[in-house]
Amino acid sequence: MAYEPNNDPDRGLAKWLPTIGMFAVLVVLAIQFIREPAPPVHNALVFGCYETTAAPSIMLDERGMHINQEGFPSIGFHLERHKQGIALTAEAPIYAKASSDGYRYSIATRGIGKFLEFYKVIDGKLYGVLEPDELGPFRMLADDGRYLSYDRTDREHCLRT
């Protein structure tokens, strides 16, 4: 008995396989690009006082970001969703410089705003926060390469300093 290509039961499937594959790829791409973007994160979720041991405390409220350091101006801020998590974005190029009595904040003459990353610790590892209801501490990279971790504290602490 000789092989007859017209009677091969797999031939029909093989003929449609490229079409089925292309359709599957289109469905996956459509799902990726048609998804609704996540809603913006509202600033009010992070209003309050934040402190660290080595630098001035920071107050966030409806008027902006207030670094509790004499002579430091209030600056705007907003929250942004990034791939690795939600970031507090200072709308001025602030930086923390090490000094003999801790860190002092300044505003650079050039540059863009600074991203301060919200984080959570799971099993001793730091992860970015992706959900607004998990916002807690944030950290800032100082000019010497150290991270300054800011934890939320009583609002009165920022009013005292």
58: nearest Cα among 87, 82, 88 = 88
Return the higher-pLDDT residue of 6 and 28. 28
Q: What mean pLDDT is reported for the chain?
A: 87
Dihedral sign, Cα of residue 55, residue 129, residue 134, residue 112:
positive
Query: What backbone torsions phi and psi does residue 75 show, to the nearest 5 degrees?
Result: -130, 160
**Number of H helices and number of E strands within the chain?**
2, 11
Residue 137 has pLDDT above 60, yes or no: yes
- pLDDT at position 4 is 63
> Is a pLDDT exceeding 90 seen at residue 21?
no
Q: How far is CA 126 from the centre of its chain?
A: 13
State the pLDDT at residue 105. Answer: 94
Q: Does residue 152 have a pLDDT over 90?
A: yes
Q: What pLDDT is stored for residue 5 in this prediction?
A: 59
Q: Is the pLDDT of residue 3 over 70?
A: no
